[in-house]
Amino acid sequence: MNLTLHVWRQRTGDGEGGFVQYEARDISPDASFLEMLDIVNEQLIEKGEEPIHFEHDCREGICGACGMMINGIAHGPMGGTATCQLHMRHFEDGDVIRVEPWRARAFPVIKDLIVDRSALDRIIQAGGFITVNTGSAPEANTIPIPKATQERAMDAAECIQCGACVAQCPNGAAQLFTAAKVSHLGLLPQGQPERYDRVLRMVEIMEEHFGSCTMYGECEAVCPKEISLDFIARMNRDFIVAKLKGK
């Protein structure tokens, strides 16, 4: 496959950036999108040019580091797929592909396709954990949890903190991310003691950094783990209850 890439290049966070055109030649349809960028970078290095900087780690759709906008869509055209698991067979020979970093005020560009996603970390630091002393890990069958509740909690826990929901949202909102992190603890017995304090703390930090949710639904559409908008409704209910309780 031969492709034309328009890649966002920005040397520093406070510097000027712009799109630069590159030719990706003889790319295997079985290569992942990141492997395609690796090949382009090898060619740039051979020519003495600076390679394209992008973030990655596991390359297995687990860590959430690989996020980028591909033709205006977070993680690219395949639903339920992180950039590292997107393969070039989903494009056509001769395609023109536009690659840029997450576009959100809360995610300032560090360099090229790498952005600072630490605003998501601050939401986690505000309450995405359990602080009460629950003792050592109990036997799995000691605390009976209905299967439906287990599965619902695991659906929420699949969030990989990639930031695609924020990048795709016209408002730059982080409700889907926050709702997933609130819900996967709030559904389980171990998370009940701090359930309402947790939602207040995490929503407060979220509102400091991100926009407001108006239910466009684009967050759910691009989430690589297909996390449901229903979790936002659940978070909103817990938030209202917490306010009524005077937390």
* Residue finishing a domain among 111, 136, 167: 111
Q: Of 79, 111, 143, which closes a domain?
A: 111
pTM attached to this predicted model: 0.92
Alpha-carbon span 181 to 58, nearest angstrom: 21
Q: How far apart are CA 247 and CA 243, in angstroms?
A: 6
Per-residue confidence (pLDDT) for residue 144, from 0 to 100: 84
Cα–Cα distance, 55 to 195 (Å, whole number)? 34
Last residue of a domain, one of 59, 80, 111: 111
Q: Give tens-digit pLDDT for 35-78.
A: 999 999 999 999 999 999 999 999 999 999 999 999 999 999 99
For residues 146 and 221, state if they share a domain: yes
Range of the domain at 91: 3-111
* pLDDT tens per residue, range 183-198: 999 999 888 989 999 9
CATH number, position 32: 3.10.20.30
Contact 134, 34 (CB under 8 A): no
What confidence score (pLDDT) does residue 133 get? 73
Radius of gyration of the chain (CA): 20
Q: Is 35 left (phi over 0), alpha (psi -120 to 50) or beta?
A: alpha
Rounded CA-CA distance 30/39 in Å is 13
